[in-house]
Amino acid sequence: MGNIAAAVQAWRELLPPGAVNSEDAVLDRYARSTQDRGTRPCCILFPDNATEVQAIVRIAVAQGVTVYPISRGKNWGYGDACAPTEGASIMDLSRMNRILEVNTELAYAVIEPGVTQGQLYGYLEERNTGLMMDCTGAGLTASLVGNTLDRGFGHTRYDDHFLTTCGMEVVLADGRILNTGFGHYPDAKATWVYRYGVGPFLDGLFCQSNLGIVTRIGLWLMPKPETATFFYVTVDRDEELAPLVDRLRPLRINGTLQTAVHIGNDLRMLSSKGRYPWQLTSGKTPLPEDVRARLRHEGGLGAWNAGGALIGTDGQVRAGRKALKSALSGLGKLKFVSDNKLAWAERVAPMLRRMGLGARLEEQIKSLIPIYGLLKGVPTDEPLLGAQWRLRHPPEGPGDPLDSGCGLMWVSPVLPMTGRAATEVMRIAGPIFPRHGFEPLVTFTMINERAMIGILNVAFDKAESEETARAVQCYDALFDALMTAGYIPYRVGPRAMSKLTQGSKVFWDLARQIKQVLDPHNVIAPGRYISKDLA
């Protein structure tokens, strides 16, 4: 286990006052998790720069201890700020929150891991850069770097965050600093605009792994489009999920739909704007079908609800609308919402309500606005509401899921972008939820031109120990059933990391071999995706 006391002593001598914290109250905070349980660290380190990160890992090596780096720790549904193991030294990079450069000509930013979605958004807006970023539903305080390293995804044309990252600075376990791409050439001109550099492309090593500590990335931004029109398609019947996917796919593959398209079921849409209807159900779970039907109707929702954006010039958006209408002809209800239309509806809805009309319109607008913002790169805490679905005593507003005892575990299989695959995933996963007393909250996101990521939410109330126990069983059952059927997750939380080697060998052996050469003392984030020992 090494000499943790000596390491903490050395870290205290190295870092300024307050940058090493092992107060009980603080450790308790970091031990909180949206998983069934978190792990309690032994201290929290707050380096201010890469030089301090280097010194910290050198001390860790010397003392035989480990460090678990986090950016902001907002890894909702996948383990939050918790290390996989108890008693870790958390390296919290939140003080490294500098926006080092924003280049408006070439549309990129260079940022540190502590930079949050809200911070970069504010920076771009205040300076009228005309640029927008892609953001996720993880809220204002989530780290952009952290999400990228977990290969998270958002809602716009740059939905694949790793794909739109260019150039990394990485502190290795022996304290060396690696610059990837062209960044290791001192005067390279294309460091932040061309990802591969020359020779092997190494950036992929540092995502979903424990092979280094990323202290800086280049992040590509988008010019705000001349026009953006949100589209929204609902289908009333579950059986229409398959044709919905199959009709949208050609538009994604041929580049008409350039952004992520999210397809959520009624339950997932309901959970994004409200909590479980404890009163309507008299406390019964899972949600009875008649209540579900009623809420779906009142919310103006379909069984499945797809949304995305058309962007570009007026002419491009017009052409996109036409292609979309033609592709979806005869299937579901297609609506377009533009900035003008939304502003109009916001004005009209209260008038209609006063006349006793349009309650559904108002509901629809309320649920649309945050999603609409995400499509335009505006971060919001609203989607975090979804984590509160099962809370008996929810707070006002979304807030921090950890403050309100939200339980949340995501199972996130990747599937080919076909109606068949979506149907099969629902056939497998659908019955598992009610069997454990839950209801399926599901989104399928068209993340690239050919694949979808399903996000299956196991949302529970951590104040309820029996529900929490069932949530774990539900998660395991979902995970195992989908994995067995070939729907492998794109990302996992701590419960599932050890399951990833099932049925595979060479890939994970190789990952471990690389770990052994880059981090022979297993200093960085042991157990995060890659375990040390060969099978």
**Site residues (CB under 8 A) for its own copies, limited to 169-228:** 172, 176-180, 182, 184-190, 192-194, 196-209, 211, 220, 222-223, 225
Q: In Å, how far are 75, 95, 260, 445, 499 from 480, measured between CA atoms?
A: 22, 39, 27, 21, 9
Query: What is the number of other CB atoms lying within 10 angstroms of the CB of residue 23?
Result: 10
The DSSP call for residue 452 is: E
Question: Contact, 47 vs 91, CB < 8 A?
Answer: yes
* CB of 18 or CB of 186, closer to its own copies: 186
Query: Across the strands, what pairs with 99?
Result: 111
Shortest Cβ 419–its own copies spacing (Å): 10
421 binds its own copies (CB under 8 A): yes
Phi-psi region of 377 (alpha: psi -120 to 50; beta: other; left: phi over 0): left
Stretch that binds its own copies, among 92-100, 247-255, 358-366, 376-384 (CB under 8 A): 247-255
The one-letter code for the residue type at 436 is H
- Residue count at the site for its own copies (CB under 8 A)? 99
Q: Residue 520, interface with its own copies (CB under 8 A)?
A: no
Give the residue, chosen from 341, 393, 504, 534, that forms a contact with its own copies under the rule CB under 8 A. 504
* Minimum distance from residue 383 beta carbon to its own copies (Å): 23
Query: With binding defined as CB under 8 A, does residue 416 bind its own copies?
Result: yes
The CB-of-312 to its own copies minimum distance in angstroms stands at 7
| Least Cβ distance, residue 49 to its own copies (angstroms) | 18
Residues 75-134 that bind its own copies (CB under 8 A): 105-108
Counting contacts by CB under 8 A, is residue 354 touching its own copies? no
Can you tell me which of 323, 331, 342, 348 binds its own copies, judged by CB under 8 A?
A: 323
Give the number of C-alpha atoms closer than 13 A to the C-alpha of residue 458, restricted to the C-beta side.
30
Q: Which of 100, 450, 465, 469 binds its own copies (CB under 8 A)?
A: 450
Q: Are 253 and 131 in contact (CB under 8 A)?
A: no
Provide, rounded to whole angstroms, the least separation between the CB of residue 513 and its own copies: 5
Quick one: 278 or 336, whose CB is closer to its own copies? 336
Work out whether the CA dihedral 505, 511, 512, 516 comes out positive or negative: positive
φ/ψ of residue 222, rounded to 5: -115, 145
Q: Does 444 bind its own copies (CB under 8 A)?
A: no
Length of the chain: 535
Distance between CA atoms of residues 192 and 189, nearest Å: 8
Asked if residue 522 binds its own copies (CB under 8 A), the reply is no
d(CA 518, CA 514): 6
Please say which residue, 68 or 206, places its beta carbon nearer to its own copies.
206
CB of 132 to its own copies, least distance (A): 11
> Hey, which residues between 255 and 294 contact its own copies (CB under 8 A)?
255-256, 258
**Among the listed residues 58, 318, 335, 360, the single contact to its own copies using CB under 8 A:** 318
Residue placing its CB nearer to its own copies in the complex, 32 or 515: 515
Q: Could you give the CA distance from residue 217 to residue 183 in angstroms, rounded to a whole number?
A: 10
Residue 44 or 524: which CB sits closer to its own copies? 524
CB of 514 to its own copies, least distance (A): 6
Give the shortest CB-254-to-its own copies separation in angstroms.
Answer: 5
Contact by Cβ (8 Å): 13, 25? no
313 binds its own copies (CB under 8 A): yes
In whole angstroms, the minimum distance from the beta carbon of 460 to its own copies comes to 24
- Given the complex with its own copies, which of 93 and 422 has the nearer CB atom? 422
In terms of Cβ atoms closer than 10 Å to its own Cβ (0-12, 13-18, 19+), residue 507 is: exposed
Work out whether 500 is an interface residue with its own copies (CB under 8 A).
yes
Q: Determine phi and psi for 103, rounding to 5 degrees.
A: -105, 110
Nearer Cβ to its own copies, position 45 or 242?
A: 242
Closer to its own copies by CB, 49 or 313: give it: 313
Q: Which of 3, 49, 51, 254 binds its own copies (CB under 8 A)?
A: 254
If binding is defined by CB under 8 A, does position 428 make contact with its own copies? no
Q: Return the range that interacts with its own copies (CB under 8 A); candidates 115-123, 374-382, 385-393, 411-419.
A: 411-419
Q: N- to C-terminal Cα distance for the chain?
A: 21
Instruction: Tell which positions 479-498 bind its own copies, by CB under 8 A.
Output: 483-492
SS3 of 388-425: the string is HCCCCCCCCCCCCCCCCCEEEEEECEEEECCHHHHHHH
Distance in Å, CB of 422 to its own copies, minimum: 11
Note whether 516 binds its own copies by CB under 8 A: yes
518 near its own copies, rule: CB under 8 A: yes
Long-range contacts of 313-321 (CB under 8 A, 24+ apart): 313/225, 313/226, 313/227, 314/226, 314/227, 316/227, 317/227, 317/228, 317/229, 320/229, 320/256, 320/257, 321/229, 321/231
436 or 515: CB nearest its own copies: 515
Closer residue to its own copies in complex, CB, 395/503? 503
Cα(334)–Cα(346) distance, rounded to whole angstroms? 20
What's the CA gap between 182 and 188, in Å, rounded? 6
- Residue 236 near its own copies by CB under 8 A: no
Instruction: List C-alpha distances in Å: 332 to 229, 236, 378.
Output: 19, 7, 28
Among 32, 72, 74, 151, binds its own copies (CB under 8 A): 151
Check residue 230 for interaction with its own copies (CB under 8 A). Answer: no
